[in-house]
Structure 1
Amino acid sequence: MQNDMRLSVFAEKKGKQLIYYPERCIGCGTCVQACPKGNLAIGAVGAVVRGVVDADFLEIKKSEECIACGICAKVCPTGALELKQEGKSLTDMSYLFKAMKPTSVNENCVHCGVCEEICPRGCIEVTREISEDGKLKLVGKTNIDLERCIHCGWCVAVCPVNAISVEKPFEGRWTRDENVCQTCHTCVEVCPTNAIFNKKAKPGERVEKISHRPDACIYCGACAVSCPVNAIDVRKTAILPNVEKKSVLEKKVLEIPVPDAILRTCLETDEDACLGCGNCVIVCPVNALHSRELAAGYLNDMDKKALLEVKDGKISVVNQDLCGADGACAMICPVDAIKLVKKKVK
């Protein structure tokens, strides 16, 4: 399967190549945390997931400054980064992705297909047919694409016969500031394990803005990287697989905040197309954090906006640097008068 994937050669150094596989990347930024040169950049994760920006989650700032140490590849939980020597993979048991026990299915499996339905990555395929030995049972195969599996544990949780086993990459801690969160749903859409969700409230019932499923979380940090108002904090507290030289990796990622998202996009506006409706101004989570009244729809009662405002009936960008690149403004605009455009990372 690996040969069918897209790949990018991030850097070359003394016969070594750092390879990036975008299809495997979940935008968690663990590699960015670990890079000793601070040479990797992640950002606009929400916009990429939502299809607002055509880009990969990760990029390298200056390939010539990469020393090809491989630390980024070793901490990656999905194998999205790989170090090669003259075309030969150097992946061994010092790599987290390699050291994790593969998600496996034993002979107890009844091929019911519940795991296939629940898998958030769509990496399980179940084929089944009625047995021809006269017994009332299904026969078939349950195949797990180990190249795409991210060890979330959903399949284990729903399996009615305990036929599946999984090993997670990290233990961790997930917290969110209810007062800062603007319920923009960026984290919900970005989460690769469906560990973040919105509870359905009954009439008159008060529920938290965003809810978390600890048992599904792999504490990767993608949600925190993508949050446009920095309302989420994710800390890895342990590396679970028996990785060789684990202490080296632990120093790089345990209890370390997720990396700051690099502003990899800029907002472009089309005044001729703009209707001046103000939907983008209201939906912007950065604006909403700045003013709760604005978020409630009081567009014209606020003198100052943090990021976007309607001026003389046209959309205007107040402070480009505050953009969280979640893409909400571009998604809500009915005439494509505002959009996120990828820019080069310095």
Structure 2
Amino acid sequence: MQNEMRLSVFSEKKDRQLVYQPEKCIGCGTCVQACPKGTLSIGAVGAVARGLLDADFLEMAKSEDCLVCGICAKVCPTGALELRQEGKPLTDMSYISRAMRPTSVNESCVHCGLCEDICSQGCIEVTREISTDGKLKVIGKTHIDTECCVHCGWCAAVCPVNAISVEKPFEGRWSRDENVCQTCHTCIDVCPANAIFNKKAKSGERVEKITHRPDACIYCGACAVACPVDAIDVRKTAILPEMEKKGPLEKKLIEVPAPEDALRTQLETDDDACLGCGNCVIVCPVNAFDNRELAAGYLYDMDEKAILGVKNGKISVVNQERCGGDGTCALICPVDAIRLVKKEVE
């Protein structure tokens, strides 16, 4: 459950403020798609989601250019951005997060707890006890924290008595290039809706690298933003809630590709700790995409690597600028000899 939200004032013009609530943000970049001045920046979504980088998904790159128009807040599906005037929130039915019907549970609920178990964001709490009126039944309460709900629909899908109602923010289209995907699992780790997963293959069975659950997807685009090799494409095709001024917002979002990932990190290495094992070199998805033979074990037979290499028995950074900010290298390192650190966005 969400506690008191942390707030960051992104920009201010006269008596109007654009406020960011990082705990609500899912790293989807929808706001970046819609911003008319290009002042918002998103990147290193994979590293942040994996807990490898102490940073927020979103930051304001050029606050002086921000118009404080509120379009970013209007399209945000979770209400992570908020427009305020004289300190009071300006929210009406022209905001997607406000126009969406809150996820709700009706009196048919039997408090079985399946929704609590499956919720991708941990937004549901079920309390129950055996009835004391002599009947064989369970009494209790099912509470849905609508502040953290992302409207994925898992709870409604598993409810045995159809007691939960969910409205999604977007309709869309999801695709992935099987030949480009390096199965780094960054998309799985960042997806707020648990809509992407890795199938378990039986012996001798060939399965796709990454599988998509359309019914759970909210087409936010976080996976596409985070993919270090741009293997995923997510397009919004409609805003689903009935809301005011939907037309102009759809023009900003419909069929627009995911925003470009800003290089907000740089790689740091520790020569004293490094074992020279090369695990980070092999698992780096950009390295593997650049040369397929690398992941097949030809670590030392290649002179050139895209990002990481082993030189004189130690890890070396070949090209910082090509890093996808996913942190897969840091995840596999057994001695913490490589890490991602935050850098200022230019």
- Both proteins in one fold, TM over 0.5: yes
Residue 179 of structure 1 corresponds to 179
How do 1:53-64 and structure 2 match up within 5 A? 53-64=53-64
- Structure 1 residues 121-155: Cα deviation after superposition (integer angstroms, max 9, x where no partner): 00001111111222111111111000001110001
Alignment partners' CA distance in 2, 1:272 and 1:258: 39
How do 1:81-96 and structure 2 match up within 5 A? 81-96=81-96
Which stretch of the first structure deviates more once superposed, 328-337 or 59-68?
A: 328-337
Say whether 1:97 aligns with 2:97.
yes
Say whether 1:147 aligns with 2:147.
yes
Residue 287 of structure 1 corresponds to 287
Residue 166 of structure 1 corresponds to 166
Q: Is the 8 A contact 2:2 2:148 kept in 1?
A: no
Displacement after TM superposition at 1:323 (Å): 0.2
Alignment partners' CA distance in 2, 1:19 and 1:43: 19
Displacement after TM superposition at 1:329 (Å): 1.0
Q: Which amino acid aligns with 1:30?
A: T
Residue 300 of structure 1 corresponds to 300
Q: Which amino acid aligns with 1:256?
A: V
Displacement after TM superposition at 1:271 (Å): 2.2
Alignment partners' CA distance in 2, 1:40 and 1:259: 10
Residue 12 of structure 1 corresponds to 12
Alignment partners' CA distance in 2, 1:209 and 1:3: 37
Say whether 1:209 aligns with 2:187.
no
Residue 266 of structure 1 corresponds to 266
Which stretch of the first structure deviates more once superposed, 203-212 or 124-133?
A: 124-133
Displacement after TM superposition at 1:120 (Å): 0.5
**Alignment CA distance shift 1:153-1:249 (3 Å):** same
Alignment partners' CA distance in 2, 1:49 and 1:211: 20
Q: Which amino acid aligns with 2:325?
A: A
Identity %: 79
Alignment partners' CA distance in 1, 2:103 and 2:45: 27
Displacement after TM superposition at 1:2 (Å): 8.3
Q: Is the 8 A contact 2:306 2:319 kept in 1?
A: yes
Alignment partners' CA distance in 1, 2:201 and 2:219: 26
Deviation above 6 Å: which 4+ runs of structure 1? none
Alignment partners' CA distance in 1, 2:106 and 2:344: 48
Q: Which amino acid aligns with 2:117?
A: E
Residue 313 of structure 1 corresponds to 313
Alignment partners' CA distance in 2, 1:50 and 1:247: 36
Displacement after TM superposition at 1:3 (Å): 7.9
Which stretch of the first structure deviates more once superposed, 133-142 or 98-107?
A: 133-142
Say whether 1:69 aligns with 2:72.
no
Alignment partners' CA distance in 2, 1:342 and 1:2: 26
Q: Which amino acid aligns with 1:76?
A: C
Residue 124 of structure 2 corresponds to 124
Alignment partners' CA distance in 2, 1:213 and 1:312: 45
Alignment partners' CA distance in 2, 1:162 and 1:333: 45
Which stretch of the first structure deviates more once superposed, 211-220 or 293-302?
A: 293-302
Which stretch of the first structure deviates more once superposed, 223-232 or 263-272?
A: 263-272
Residue 236 of structure 2 corresponds to 236
Residue 330 of structure 1 corresponds to 330
Structure 2 unaligned blocks of 5 or more:
none
Which stretch of the first structure deviates more once superposed, 272-281 or 134-143?
A: 272-281
Alignment partners' CA distance in 2, 1:60 and 1:329: 27
Alignment partners' CA distance in 2, 1:71 and 1:269: 40
Alignment partners' CA distance in 1, 2:193 and 2:56: 19
Q: Is the 8 A contact 2:6 2:22 kept in 1?
A: yes
Residue 22 of structure 2 corresponds to 22
**Alignment CA distance shift 1:162-1:52 (3 Å):** same
Residue 43 of structure 2 corresponds to 43
Alignment partners' CA distance in 1, 2:270 and 2:119: 41
- Structure 1 residues 10-52: Cα deviation after superposition (integer angstroms, max 9, x where no partner): 0100110100000000000000000000000000000001111
Give secondary structure in 2 for the equivalent of 1:173.
Answer: strand
Normalising by structure 2, we get a TM-score of: 0.98
